[in-house]
Amino acid sequence: MKENDIRFARLLLIVNGAVPLVLLGWDALHHQLGANPVKFTLLTTGMMGLIFLLLTLLVTPLRKISGWNWIIFSRRTLGLYAFFYACLHFLIFFGLDRSFDVSSTLTEMVKRKYLIIGSTGLLVMVPLAVTSTNAMIKRLGGKRWRALHRLAYVAAIAGVIHYYLQAKADVRQPLGFAAVLTVLLGYRVLEYWRQRKPGPVAAANRGLRTVFGHSRDSTGNQSAKLSAESRN
């Protein structure tokens, strides 16, 4: 994919990611948020945060399965949108539902454990957002950066549990999110075991070492291999 096409796709993603917020603002301006505006706003921002988080986790499996390496550009934007909507979700709860009262907020969190789980998911996303820049990737190094950003799965699990526990009677949507997350986690586990499983060459080498008694001695020399080869 050409660089200009990727730039256009990135711009398109940024614009579309802001659409839910624009629509929410439009409905709020025209008093069309329903009988309970705060609840509707909380639900919308929370769902958008979870959707963008799952889309972020989808990028790598989709890239590996399809071979569309160019879509990797979208992961950072999707992740930042997930963090943005999650922060907005909490700020609406803290500001509109709890009137910026710290004591009331903490009391409510203690009474409702799903609030603690959701807040944990948000806190986990903070270092992910902070280290999303190229400079931080370079500073941390690729290996450590990838290990840190596996916390995105922790955030997603916390988000799904938070959504499920706060649902009253209809849990179909939370279970739908849970199903998608299960598939993404399952792919990650399968990929991990596939990488650990030795390939044909490694297996053949192990078989040869077993037959010829190949091993390194205490000085690290391959004397057993040389002895076996000299006998052939």
pLDDT in tens, 109-133: 999 999 999 999 999 999 999 999 9
The C-alpha atoms of residue 200 and residue 214 are separated, in whole angstroms, by: 18
pLDDT band at 82 (very low <50, low <70, confident <90, very high): very high
Contact predicate 57/184, CB 8 Å:
yes
CB atoms closer than 10 angstroms to residue 32: 11
The C-alpha atoms of residue 30 and residue 173 are separated, in whole angstroms, by: 27
**Residue 197 three-state SS:** coil
| Single-letter amino acid, residue 43 | L
At 217, give phi and psi (nearest 5°): -85, -175
pLDDT in tens, 156-209: 999 999 999 998 788 999 999 999 999 999 999 998 888 887 654 445 445 444
| Single-letter amino acid, residue 100 | F
Q: Is the dihedral of CA 214, 216, 218, 219 positive or negative?
A: positive
pLDDT in tens, 22-66: 999 999 999 999 999 999 999 999 999 999 999 999 999 999 999
Q: Model pTM?
A: 0.82
